[in-house]
Amino acid sequence: MQQVHDMLDDSDDDNDVDLDLRCDSSDFGDSDDASERDVEPDTDDDSDVDDVGHSAHVKKAGAVSSGGFDWSGPVGRKPCLPAFTGERKVLVPTDNFEPVNYFTLYLNDDLMNHLVVQTNLKAEQFLHSQRHTLKPNSRIRRWVPTTKEELRKFFGLTLLMGLIRKPVIAMYWSQDPLYATPLFGEIMSRNRYQLLLKFLHFNDNEKAPKANDPERDRLYKIRPLLDHMFEKFQEVYDLAQEVAIDESLLLWKGRLLFKQYLPLKRSRFGVKLYKLCESCTGYTYRFQVYAGKDSSFAIPAQAVQPGVDLSATEKIVWYLMMPLLNKGHRLYADNFYTSLQLFDQLHKNGTPACGTIRSSRKGFPKQLVSKKQKPGESSVLRSGHMLAVKFTDKKDIYMLSTIHDNSCETVAVRRKSVSEMEKPKCIIDYNTYMGGVDISDQLLEPYDATRKTMAWYKKLALYLFQLALLNGHILYKQSCTDPKLSLLEFTHDVVSDLLFGDADVDEDEAKSECVLRMTGRHFPSVIQPEPGAAKARPTRRCRVCYKKQKRSESRYCCTRCPSKPGLCVDTCFELYHSKIKYWK
């Protein structure tokens, strides 16, 4: 089958293979070897170089030049690394923050107001253009302008669909006892939700560039949201020293000019995003949506400029790393991005880097590639601040680093013939710090709320909202001294607050109880007397009657609700468990 992948040209070497056919860590399961992340075939060329550094006892190589780099430097030299001047911290005050407050750092009032304006504008434009063709009883004719409060509930229901999975959206409003989820119908009708989903919009269609314009912005439909999230992700958090760059693939099999085909990704087809993430938490700091190999991309003039002309892929790395240059951050990347030219420029700007590299990359020493090795052996060469490493495990692994020296560490391995193996320190650190983007994808996958749709930009928008939710959870864990909420529990609390705003919730009732009382099975129970209590038949104030300003005591309560409220059995019990505003 013909591949539909559009490859970025990131190398000057004609021997490079299709970059998107490389291996990825998420496709091999759990592994502690760099060979399971980026592998290259063994070479059968005979070696004519015997003075390459070998295993833990490294010999000084002869003076050999490759691609303008002199690989005759002392392999045992310790690299001179810049001091890390940053600090991992949350940049906004978070005192008395609830989970929803972390989420609204990204989905703030400015963005919500913009979405309200654009959604209402989209509906007006559609109704005007289709006024003669719409059927008289079409639900679209019943459209009324939306509000910020209604969109909050819309996003709350959409995120909740990621926690409660059903194959068809309409099933969330089903009355069938097997599928019934009464909460959805109480928050919003099915027709209204589908209308909001249809008209949800982010930019004015009437101002969109023409399709035949070669300089058009292919991401115009979602550009305001992309710019907003891109800015907010960086405003509220400073990263730790180790960061990683990799790509994520959002599943999309419809027609799209910049759809990518990556056979080793789980989705295989979709929209590709380049992401810069913190290695230890997966916090997404910066990202770039790939819009096609012929889309224009240039490093901003006011930014730090590289000293040489970079290829398209190298520019992506430079662009993502711009605000972190000259701060001592350590970058980890796979062989899709790694090149000698890029690592040299990053090092000159106070940013050491480490990554796997392709043996055919321009400037990489050929004598290292051709050297024969047995499993467990390693060889190194140095050119100034760059260290080239070849390590043989199941396959040959090639590394380039401006962080490490030639030191090795003994690690346990699962092999039939040997239980321990000496690995170069650069490979051990690479396996430790390269997985930042994979962490982000793995945390989001169980609660994925995206669905099959005809509009690619709506699916990408929902992905960004969930990415903001994950970033908010990371902020919560960093700012709290004793964080107890998992991502699932954090999402539950955020959804609860989005659905039950202050205007719709009893002040004496916890927001979590609003969800619980509307779901599950509830039965009245007789209130049992407390030991030593004066009343043999105790009663409690009926919560529904009290909210209606009536004085009423009841001998019954609901033990399934967290607060065990007193309720009159005849009518109040049913109202409390079926209506959000049970007092009206």
Hey, what's the torsion of the CAs at 531, 537, 541, 545, to 10 degrees? Answer: 160
User: What's the number of domains the chain is made of?
Assistant: 3
Residues 318 and 370 in one domain: yes
If DSSP states are collapsed to H, E and C, what string results for 29-48? CCCCCHHHCCCECCCCCCCC
Whether 414 is in a domain gets the answer yes
DSSP 69: E
Enumerate long-range contacts of 544-553, CB under 8 Å, 24 or more apart: 544/568, 544/571, 544/572, 544/575, 544/576, 544/582, 544/583, 545/572, 547/506, 547/582, 547/583, 548/583
Q: What is the pLDDT of residues 113-124, one digit of tens each?
A: 999 999 999 999
- 235 and 351 in one domain? yes
At 182-219, the pLDDT tens digits run 889 989 999 999 999 999 999 999 999 998 888 889 99
> Between 509 and 579, where is the model more confident?
579
- 65 pLDDT band, cuts 50/70/90, is low
Which residue did the predictor score with more confidence, 69 or 489? 489
- Whether 476 shows a pLDDT value over 70: the answer reads yes
Residues 6+ apart with CB under 8 A from 514: 496, 499, 500, 505, 580
CA–CA distance, 551 with 381 (Å, rounded to integer)? 86
Residue 468 has pLDDT above 70, yes or no: yes
Q: Is residue 569 situated within a structural domain? A: yes
Q: What is the pLDDT of residue 368?
A: 92
Q: Do 323 and 421 belong to one domain? A: yes
Q: Could you tell me the two tokens for 65?
A: 């030049």
Inside any domain, residue 426: yes
Q: Is there a single domain that holds both residue 415 and residue 281?
A: yes
d(CA 343, CA 363): 12
Indicate whether 355 and 435 sit together in one domain.
yes
Q: Does pLDDT of 40 surpass 70?
A: no
User: Contact, 337 vs 313, CB < 8 A?
Assistant: yes
- The confidence score (pLDDT) of residue 379 equals 93
User: What average pLDDT score do residues 52-63 get?
Assistant: 41
Q: Crossing angle for the helix pair 511-518 and 487-499, nearest 10 degrees?
A: 90
Query: Is residue 8 scored above 80 in pLDDT?
Result: no
The answer to whether 20 touches 7, Cβ cutoff 8 Å, is yes
Q: Are residues 126 and 209 both part of a single domain?
A: yes
With beta carbons less than 8 A apart as the criterion, state whether 404 and 79 touch: yes
> Do residues 471 and 365 share a domain?
no
Model pLDDT, residue 510: 61
Share of the chain above pLDDT 70, in %: 86
Q: What is the mean pLDDT of residues 72-90?
A: 88
**Rounded mean pLDDT of the chain?**
85
Instruction: Indicate if 458 and 436 belong to the same structural domain.
Output: no
Residue 261 lies in a domain: yes
For residue 335, what pLDDT band results from cuts at 50, 70 and 90? very high
Residue 338 φ then ψ, to 5°: -65, 130
Mean pLDDT, residues 471-481 = 95
On whether residue 310 sits in a domain, the answer given is: yes
503 pLDDT higher than 80? no
H helices of 18-134, in order, are: 99-103, 109-129
Provide the pLDDT for residue 183: 87
**Position 582 in a domain:** no
In a domain, 295, yes or no: yes
238, 87 contact by CB (below 8 A): yes
pLDDT grade, residue 7 (50/70/90)? very low
Model confidence over 356-382: pLDDT tens digits? 999 999 999 999 999 999 888 999 999
Least confident of 58-72, 151-165, 292-306, 401-415: 58-72
Specify whether 75 is located in the same domain as 112: no
Q: Mapping DSSP to helix (H, G, I), strand (E, B) and coil, where does residue 352 land?
A: coil
Q: Do 583 and 550 contact (CB within 8 A), yes or no?
A: no
What is the value of pTM for the model shown?
0.80
DSSP 571: T
Domain that holds residue 560: 514-576
If you average pLDDT over residues 228-233, what whole number do you get? 97
Q: What own/partner pairs with CB < 8 Å and gap ≥ 24 does 3-6 have?
A: 3/261, 4/259, 4/260, 4/261, 4/269, 5/260, 5/261, 5/262, 6/258, 6/260, 6/292, 6/293
- pLDDT digits over 528-577, tens only? 888 877 788 899 999 999 988 899 999 999 988 888 999 999 889 988 98
Task: State the pLDDT at residue 303.
Answer: 82
pLDDT tens digits along 271-282 = 999 999 999 999
